[in-house]
Structure 1
Amino acid sequence: MRVAIMSRRHTRLPSRIVTLLRQCQGLIDVGTARAVGISPDYLSRLARAQLLIRLAEGVYASAETVRELDDWALHELTARAFLFSCSPDAFLTGWSAAAVWGLPTLGPPPAKPTAVRPKQAGRGSKTGAHGIVHTAEIPSHHQQRLIRTRLVSRAWTAATIALTASVGAALVVADAAVRTGGDLPDAIQHMSGWPGVTRARWVATYADPLSESPIETLGRFASIVGGLPTPVSNAWVGDGQPEFRVDGLWPYHHAASEGDGASKYNNRPDAAGIVFKQNEREWRLRRLGLDIARYGFSLAAFRQRELISRFAQLLRDNPPRSEPVRWWKHVPGVGPVEPEPADWPSPHPTGIVLPPGWWRDRR
């Protein structure tokens, strides 16, 4: 019976392979396959039939699934596959860990997955056909596991990305990491002397757990790059009580920024209703005395100078007043609370100095 099955020409994946792929989060390694009675030769035959595709040494995925993945989803799958071929003490790191964690990513993925393992005599960094392995000491509390995958913590992930990524892209990842409780300074203290650690420290200093999306992060970062006053992220405003949250608020200028994600409207049957509610919301915000600058992701990510100019004009048109607009700080899981003195932003440019070459990206 086994010989007959092996010799049959398959035109689609056998049901037991489909089931195993589902149980193993899209990947079959030869060790797992052997444990359930599937030989490596059988997997090779399915690969030659172009039903499976080998993503790393001894690790396969559905060819049909791979063809349907976007660049980052493919990198996530390939990174998990690569880790199967690494030593048991290796962990995914950098952008590869970010993809598995589901942290937000800007730009294309790196050409190859990256892992890290402890330093040992006679064992250094290496680049292979399926990925790159670096050596470094990773504290145990930054060694984690997710969907059968060993990877560094979100904080360590964001810190290592900040070593080489453009500061804007790194800040997007860092905001997401600290929003889930990641401690970037704790990770970075173990990176003393590493190339790029100054950039990483800058990113850790200015990461904001109140920023909830890449477009919000990029809007705040534009204010920093432009030497403008820094807005409060996701502040509540209202007539005597908190009613609405705005993406960025300059309380003393009575001004706010609002980032519009395209997914809010694209291909949605309720798009007209969303636009109506947005217009009603903006009318209420303006009745509260707020002037508003709206912007989209394309402007924030690819036309930063234009966005800076828009914000600068907004603040020029609304110079600081002695009486700020009434606002409340947003605390995740709690809601609006009275701001503490340390929560108030300066109405004046902060003079934040960016790290040298902050725009360069060496992923």
Structure 2
Amino acid sequence: MSELRRTQELVTDHGWTHYDLRKARQSDELVRVRRGSYIGSTVADARQRHLDLIRATLPEIRDGSVVSHASAAAVHGIPVANDAWTRVWATRPGGGNGRIGPVLHLRRCRLDDAEITVIDGIPVTSLERTAVDLARGRSQEWGVIACDAAAAAGADLGLVSAIVASMRKWPGAKRAAWALAFVDPLAQSPLESISRLQMHRLGFPVPITQFPVFRDGVLVATCDFGWEGHRLVGECDGKFKYADLLRPGERPEDAVMREKHREERIRGAGFWISRWSWHDAWHPDRLRSILTAGFASAPHH
């Protein structure tokens, strides 16, 4: 993480002029995080850019408020939709009105001490409270993703259930309760979570997640989903390019052959393979067609 620099610090402590600041921005030596705050030029993903924005905004939320909702998701590493990080989200315990500004979205509501933690110096809602807030406030799809991700990160599901129960009259509480009941700690990606939700909606048989494929008593592969009785496995890794799967010293063609051999072992164990992408999973008709074809093509014993 690049060090956060503030205009006052650069001008007062380091003798920069406003001309120096403008020149540094034009040359990408400094990148503006928000008014009055900069970081050194760096390649950062959306989550890191939001974490930088959180740190730049912390002085505004030091009055007992804590980072929450989508911003807490960034701190905990829970995936959220791309449009969720346009502002820093914070919650202040107690009643009264919140406010929405250009950079800060402040909520006011009940927040127990047990639902607050500190991570890398950032006061933030706990993993469990964050999952519930996301499941209440986001769509059903992203609520399931949040609960799966929190469970995979080690959230105490009993505590999540207790928080949901304490909010039974709050907006979105029923949606959060449903997402919690549907949670699968074995989900390893948002794509697996949304795929499982769509399968449920489409009425397909419930799959086994992280399905082990054996041949002659030897484990030959672990697939994202499997239907033992139907001799079908599902792989929702189509969004990755083979170049993303390279091992140290490998060429792209090596990864292609490695995946080809893996598929041959799965088919050799008597399973058909269906694959789909992120785009397919978010379009139910596409996923229905892929899985229907898979169930029809799988070898039936």
The TM tier, using the shorter chain, reads 0.7 to 0.9
Q: In structure 2, what is the equivalent of residue 227 of structure 1?
A: 203
Q: Distance in 2 between matches of 1:305 and 1:52?
A: 43
Structure 2: stretches of 5+ with no match in the other structure: none
Q: Within 5 Å, give how 1:1-363 maps onto structure 2.
A: 26-28=3-5, 39=12, 45=18, 50=25, 51=30, 53=32, 55=34, 60-62=37-39, 64-65=41-42, 68-120=43-95, 123-182=96-155, 183=157, 184-239=160-215, 240-266=217-243, 270-301=251-282, 303-318=283-298
Q: Is the partner of 1:194 in helix, strand or coil?
A: coil
Q: Residue 198 and residue 29 in structure 1: after superposition, are their counterparts in 2 closer, same or farther (change >3 A)?
A: farther
Q: Is the partner of 1:181 in helix, strand or coil?
A: coil
Deviation, structure 1 residue 295 = 1.4
| Equivalent AA in structure 2 for residue 89 of structure 1 | G
Pick 1 or 2: higher relative contact order, CA cutoff 8 A, min separation 6: 1
Q: Residue 141 and residue 63 in structure 1: after superposition, are their counterparts in 2 closer, same or farther (change >3 A)?
A: same
| Equivalent AA in structure 2 for residue 149 of structure 1 | I
Q: Is the partner of 1:211 in helix, strand or coil?
A: coil
RMSD of equivalent CA atoms: 2.9
Deviation, structure 1 residue 253 = 1.0
Q: Distance in 1 between matches of 2:16 and 2:148?
A: 42
Identity %: 24
Q: Distance in 1 between matches of 2:54 and 2:72?
A: 8
Length, aligned pairs only: 287
| Equivalent AA in structure 2 for residue 237 of structure 1 | V
Q: Distance in 1 between matches of 2:13 and 2:178?
A: 48
Structure 1: stretches of 5+ with no match in the other structure: 1-21, 322-363
Q: After superposition, give the CA deviation of every residue in 1:290-342 in whole Å (9 maximum; x if it has no partner).
A: 111011223224x3320122112322445986xxxxxxxxxxxxxxxxxxxxx
Q: Residue 136 and residue 235 in structure 1: after superposition, are their counterparts in 2 closer, same or farther (change >3 A)?
A: same
Greater mean alpha carbon deviation, residues 226-235 or residues 74-83: 74-83
Say whether the 8 Å CA contact 2:68–2:91 is kept in structure 1: yes
| Equivalent AA in structure 2 for residue 82 of structure 1 | T
Deviation, structure 1 residue 138 = 2.1
TM-score by length of 2: 0.83
Greater mean alpha carbon deviation, residues 68-77 or residues 37-46: 37-46
Q: Residue 99 and residue 261 in structure 1: after superposition, are their counterparts in 2 closer, same or farther (change >3 A)?
A: farther
